[in-house]
Structures are given as C-alpha cells and as structure tokens.
Amino acid sequence: MAKVTTPHFANDVGAEKIFVGVRELQCMGARAPYDHPHVFLDMGADSQILCPYCSTLYVHDPRLLENESDPRDCLVSLAGEATA
C-alpha cells in the first residue's frame, strides 16, 4: 500500500487566501491552542476550496511544491513531521 501524505496548513497570519501546491490538504485554522478541528479538504478537479470552519480560501498554484505555500510558513507539517 502506498503511503499518502496530506499536508497540514495553518492560517496564523489571517490571510484571506493561501496558495498551495497540493489539491488535498488539512486545514487546522491557526496553530494550537487557537486551532479548529483539523478538516480534510479535497479540491478534486477545482482549483480552490473554502474551509468550512475558518473560511480560509485555499487556491492551488501549480508553481508551488507540496511543501510550499504563499504566504510562506503556513505549512505546519508534511507526513506527520513538524517543519522548521
């Protein structure tokens, strides 16, 4: 069975939009202790998706890698590991 990683993103900066290099992600709102339930979001064939908890709009940007976001530092973890 292939190991699938789903990156977690947080919106500590309060951005309206976060550009990401993936179409499947987990939104956690802000980092703990201000997070909301970590919700899995799948854009499918669309290029954007709205988090139902915090209303952050995630927009797929194919120029970004799976471990990148704009604004920077919104990526919390990839494959269960914290990023520096």
The band of 22, judged by pLDDT with boundaries at 50, 70 and 90, is very high
66 or 79: which carries more pLDDT confidence?
66
CATH number, domain of 18, equals 2.60.260.40
C-alpha distance from residue 25 to each of 49, 61 (Å): 10, 13
Does residue 21 sit within a domain? yes
- What local confidence, expressed as pLDDT, does residue 2 receive? 53
47 or 2: which carries more pLDDT confidence?
47
- The token pair at 21 is 């290099």
Does residue 1 sit within a domain? no
Does residue 30 sit within a domain? yes
Average pLDDT for residues 30-53, to the nearest whole number? 96
Are the CB atoms for 37 and 17 separated by under 8 Å? no
Does residue 3 sit within a domain? no
Number of domains in the chain: 1
Nearest CA to 60 out of 71, 69, 47, 70 is that of 47
The band of 77, judged by pLDDT with boundaries at 50, 70 and 90, is confident
The structure tokens 């499918």 sit at 44
Domain range holding 72? Answer: 8-82
